């Protein structure tokens, strides 16, 4: 039995005047967390909306669960958190969730029970009879998140799930996502925050300007990207460190964050030479570690130049 949950085959979507997604293919296997990464305006949301059958691709096709029917007809098996969050502002929280559950095809009573359990779990138990209007933005986002998970979907599609959340709520949502994946269900989420994707995803696809740039498991991508990388954290004299890192004999590329830096060693240069030079210059170090390239640096290198030149009108359709 094929364990492919979602197969996107050569889809293209054009809007008036520009191409939002071009010849994009990807495959999501059952279980685990799949990251759809890309800068703003890359076409992530457009891709997700096509997967959700909200808009139709101009070319190519999308197969969900290996079935020929559209994902809307399979909506009882899919959970969806759109990028544009939306709830009925005057509806009570519990009624709202019950309704969302019903539109996914589960019975009214079980939707109500499940919604109550979820609200309790995410710390919103006291708010179930309040109107959505009375909730903070973060709480509303949690409510919408519950709406996407209420019917125990096999495939959960989250469009920028962590944007606009404070660290505490972000943590709560992350725990839920990880738990879903542990249960053997599949999560696909889009983000432009690489640290998050790096920590959570098994497999990623990076798209830029509507085209696929990187595709594979995180480990493979890092290995393929290669190079020897050093992660540094400074305690003092980081200005001197900056000078050292300009040395092209030692360093091929540097990503300087001020208090820390990620460095790709020049071909032939050794890590201990760099360490020796830094110590000699009197730079205080609390971390000097030979590491794999971070997703952030891979991302910047692969799409950086292109992302910087995204025409303004494309960003509108992000």
Partner 1 sequence: MHKIIAVIRREFIERVRTRAFMIGTLLGPVFFIAMAVIPGLLLSRGSAGRRVAVIDATTGDFGARVESALAAAKEGTGANAKAKYFPIRIQSAPSRVREVLDSLVPKTGLPEKESALDGILIVDESGVTTGKVSYFGVNVGSLEDMGQLRAALTPLMITERLRRSGVDPALALGATMPVDLETRKVSDGKLTGESGAATFGLAYAMGIILYMALVLYGTQVMVSIIEEKSNRIVEVLVSSLTPFQMMLGKVLGVGLVSLVQIATWATAATLLSKNQGRILGFFGVSGAGSGMGFSFPSMPTGLLIVFFVFFVLGFLLYSSAYAAIGAMCSTVQETQQAQMPIMMCTLVGWFSTFALLKDPTSSFAKIAGFIPPLAPFVIPVRYSLAPIPLSELLLSIGLTILGLLIVVWFASKIYRTGILMYGKRASFRDVLRWVSAS
CA distance 34 to 163: 17
Nearer to partner 1, 88 or 257 (CB): 88
The least distance separating partner 1 from the CB of residue 64, rounded to whole angstroms, comes to 12
CA distance 178 to 227: 30
Among the listed ranges 83-91, 190-198, 200-208, 249-257, the one in contact with partner 1 (CB under 8 A) is 83-91
52 counts as binding partner 1 under rule CB under 8 A: yes
Among 66, 89, 164, 282, binds partner 1 (CB under 8 A): 89
CA distance 207 to 46: 12
> Coil, strand or helix: which one is 237?
coil
130 counts as binding partner 1 under rule CB under 8 A: no
Nearer to partner 1, 55 or 279 (CB): 55
Show the beta-strand stretches assigned E in the chain. Answer: 4-15, 18-29, 32-37, 59-64, 78-81, 155-159, 186-191, 203-208, 211-217, 229-236, 251-256, 260-265, 284-291
Among the listed ranges 61-69, 99-107, 168-176, 221-229, the one in contact with partner 1 (CB under 8 A) is 99-107
Among the listed ranges 86-94, 174-182, 253-261, 293-301, the one in contact with partner 1 (CB under 8 A) is 86-94
Bridge partners (DSSP) of residue 212 are 207
> Coil, strand or helix: which one is 154?
coil
156 counts as binding partner 1 under rule CB under 8 A: no
> What is the Cα 266 distance to its own chain's centre?
31
91 counts as binding partner 1 under rule CB under 8 A: yes
Binding residues for partner 1 (CB under 8 A): 52-55, 71-72, 75, 78, 80, 82, 84-91, 95, 99-100, 102-105, 108, 144, 147
């Amino acid at each position: 039995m094929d364990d492919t949950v979602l197969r996107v085959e050569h889809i293209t979507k054009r809007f008036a005047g520009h191409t939002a997604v071009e010849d994009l293919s990807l495959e999501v296997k059952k279980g685990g967390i799949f990251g759809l990464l890309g800068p703003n305006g890359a076409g992530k949301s457009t891709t997700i909306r096509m997967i959700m059958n909200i808009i139709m691709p101009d070319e190519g096709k999308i197969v969900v669960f290996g079935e020929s029917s559209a994902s809307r007809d399979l909506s009882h098996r899919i959970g969806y958190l759109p990028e544009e969050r939306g709830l009925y502002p005057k509806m009570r929280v519990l009624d709202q969730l019950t309704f969302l559950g019903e539109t996914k095809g589960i019975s009214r009573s079980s939707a109500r029970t499940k919604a109550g359990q979820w609200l309790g779990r995410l710390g919103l138990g006291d708010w179930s009879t309040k109107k959505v209007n009375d909730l903070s933005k973060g709480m509303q986002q949690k409510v919408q998140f519950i709406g996407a998970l209420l019917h125990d979907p096999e495939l959960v599609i989250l469009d920028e799930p962590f944007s606009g959340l404070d660290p505490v709520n972000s943590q709560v949502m992350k725990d839920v996502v990880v738990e879903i994946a542990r249960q053997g269900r599949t999560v696909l989420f889009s983000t432009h925050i690489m640290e998050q994707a790096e920590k959570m995803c098994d497999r990623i696809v990076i798209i830029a300007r509507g085209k696929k740039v990187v595709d594979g498991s995180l480990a493979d991508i890092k290995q393929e990207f290669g190079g020897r990388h050093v992660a540094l954290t400074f305690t003092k004299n980081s200005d001197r460190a900056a000078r050292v890192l300009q040395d092209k004999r030692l360093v091929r590329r540097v990503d300087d964050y001020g208090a820390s830096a990620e460095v790709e060693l020049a071909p032939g240069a050794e890590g201990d030479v760099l360490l020796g030079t830094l110590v000699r210059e009197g730079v205080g170090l609390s971390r000097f570690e030979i590491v794999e390239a971070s997703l952030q640096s891979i991302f910047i290198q692969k799409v950086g130049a292109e992302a910087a030149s995204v025409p303004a009108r494309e960003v509108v359709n992000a």
